[in-house]
C-alpha cells in the first residue's frame, strides 16, 4: 500500500535555520511545521549560564529535549531531572515543568510534536518584553502570546 507523501526531504545546514531571540536566549528553527506536514518542529536552543524557563505547561504539544552541550536541570511534575550531554528528556503536554541551564550554559535540540510551536517563538521574537531573560517573571504581553498557543505559566 502506498502512503501519501506529506512533505519533501529538507536539508538544513549547521548554521542555517530561522534565528529568533526569545526569553533572552537564541533559538534557531531548524524545521518548521510547514516543512514536516505538521508532524513536528525542531528548534536548536542556546541558553546562557543559569538561564531557564519558569514553571509552565503546554496543552497543544509534547516536547523532547536532547542536550548537545552543557547541562540542564528540569522539574517535570514533582520529579527533578538532571540532564547532561547526550541526555534526552520528554516533557509531556499538560504536565507542569521548568528548566534551567547549568553554570556554563547549554544547547539543546528541542522537538515539539505535533508541529506548530515555532509560530509562538516567531511571535514572541517581535515582542520587546520577550527579550528579558526568563529567570524573571514573564511580562503580561509574553504570557498573553504564550496562552494563545496553549502555554500557561504557573
List, in order of start, the domains of the chain with CATH numbers. Answer: 18-153 (2.60.120.10)
Q: What mean pLDDT comes out for the span 47-68?
A: 96
Helix axes 140-148, 118-125, angle to 10 degrees: 150
**pLDDT per residue as tens digits for the range 92-144:** 999 999 999 999 999 999 999 999 999 999 999 998 877 666 556 788 999 99
Global confidence as pTM: 0.90
Report the C-alpha dihedral over residues 126, 99, 136, 62, rounded to 10 degrees. Answer: 40
Q: How far apart are the first and last CA of the chain?
A: 47
pLDDT of residue 130: 72
135 or 84, greater pLDDT: 84
Q: Alpha helix locations (H) across 40-148?
A: 118-125, 140-148
β pairing state of 79-83 and 62-76: antiparallel
Amino acid at each position: 500500500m502506498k502512503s501519501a507523501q506529506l512533505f519533501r526531504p529538507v536539508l538544513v545546514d549547521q548554521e542555517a535555520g530561522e534565528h529568533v531571540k526569545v526569553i533572552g536566549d537564541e533559538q534557531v528553527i531548524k524545521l518548521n511545521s510547514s516543512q514536516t506536514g505538521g508532524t513536528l518542529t525542531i528548534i536548536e536552543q542556546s541558553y546562557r549560564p543559569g538561564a531557564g524557563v519558569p514553571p509552565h505547561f503546554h496543552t497543544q504539544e509534547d516536547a523532547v529535549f536532547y542536550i548537545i552541550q552543557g547541562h540542564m536541570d528540569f522539574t517535570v511534575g514533582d520529579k527533578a531531572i538532571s540532564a547532561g550531554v547526550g541526555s534526552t528528556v520528554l516533557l509531556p503536554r499538560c504536565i507542569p515543568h521548568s528548566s534551567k541551564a547549568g553554570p556554563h550554559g547549554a544547547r539543546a535540540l528541542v522537538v515539539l510534536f505535533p508541529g506548530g510551536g515555532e509560530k509562538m517563538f516567531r511571535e514572541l521574537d517581535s515582542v520587546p518584553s520577550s527579550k528579558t531573560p526568563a529567570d524573571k517573571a514573564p511580562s503580561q504581553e509574553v504570557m498573553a502570546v504564550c496562552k494563545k498557543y496553549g502555554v500557561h505559566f504557573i
